[in-house]
Amino acid sequence: MKIRFSKAIFVFALLVLVFGCKRSKFIPPEDGVVTKEMAERYVKVSFALTELAESETVKLAELRKKYGISQSMAELSDEEYKEKYPEVVAVWDSILQDWNKKQDSVHKELGMSEEEWDWIAGAIISHKNKEIREFIGEEFEKIKKEKGSLPTQPTDSN
C-alpha cells in the first residue's frame, strides 16, 4: 500500500508541474552578462514597444479629454472615483487590456519574453554590461535614424 501511495503522489506532483504551473521560459545567465544576441533582440523589442506606446498616447489623450481626467490620471486609482464613474473605469480597463494584448504580441513576434526583457533592462546598468549597454544605445540610434524620429532610447535617464 505504501508503494502505491508514493507512486500516486509522484504522478500527482508531476501532473501539477506539467499542467498546473505557469513557468517562465527565461532563465537569466548565472554570470549576469547580457549577450550580443540578447541585446539585439532587446533593442528590437524596446523600439517596437516605444512605437506602440506612442500610438497609444492618442487613446489616453482622448480619454482624459472626454472624461476630464488629469494628466497624471490619478483619479483612476481612487476608490471613490471608481465607484462614482464606473463607465470611465470600464473604458480605462479596456484600454489596459488592449495594451497588454499588443505588448504580448510584440514580445511573441520578436521572440523575447517579458521576463527576459525586464531582466535585460535591469542587467544593463551593471558595470559588467557597460559595453553591451553602449552597443544597445548605438543600435537603438541606428533604428531610430532608419525609421525616423522617435523618443530617446529606454536606457536614457531623461
How far apart, in whole angstroms, are the C-alpha atoms of residue 142 and residue 37? 16
Confidence tier at 1 by pLDDT (50, 70, 90): very low
Give per-residue burial for 13-42: e unless 16+ CB within 10 Å, then b.
Answer: eeeeeeeeeeeeeeebeeeeebeeebbebb
Q: Name the percent of the chain lying above pLDDT 70.
A: 78
Please report whether residue 131 resides in a domain: yes
Residue 33 in any domain: the answer is: yes
* Domain contains 80: yes
pLDDT higher at 116 or 148: 116
Lowest mean pLDDT of 6-10, 16-20, 64-68, name the range: 16-20
153 DSSP 8-state letter: P
Is residue 139 one of the residues assigned to a domain? yes
pLDDT confidence of residue 56: 87
Query: Which tops the pLDDT comparison, 21 or 34?
Result: 34
Q: Which residue has the higher pLDDT, 9 or 77?
A: 77
pLDDT over 60 (residue 16)? no
Cα 78 to its chain centre, rounded Å, is 25
Q: What is the pLDDT of residue 24?
A: 56
Select from 50, 33, 46, 56 the least CA-distant residue to 112. Answer: 46
Instruction: Using DSSP, state whether 103 is helix, strand or coil.
Output: helix
Percentage of the chain beyond pLDDT 90 is 64
Residue 16 located in a structural domain: no
**What are the pLDDT digits (tens) for 94-145?**
999 999 999 999 999 999 999 999 999 999 999 999 999 999 999 999 988 8
- Structural domain boundaries enclosing 69: 29-147
Q: What's the pTM?
A: 0.71
Asked if pLDDT for residue 40 goes beyond 50, the answer is yes
Q: Could you tell me if residue 5 is inside a domain?
A: no
For the chain, what is the domain count? 1
Asked if residue 22 is part of any domain, the answer here is: no
DSSP output for 39-94 = HHHHHHHHHHHHHHHHHHHHHHHHHHHHHT--TT-GGGG-HHHHHH-HHHHHHHHH
CA distances from 86 to 42, 58, 74, 100 (A): 38, 22, 15, 21
C-alpha cell at 135: 552597443
Q: Would residue 1 count as lying in a domain?
A: no
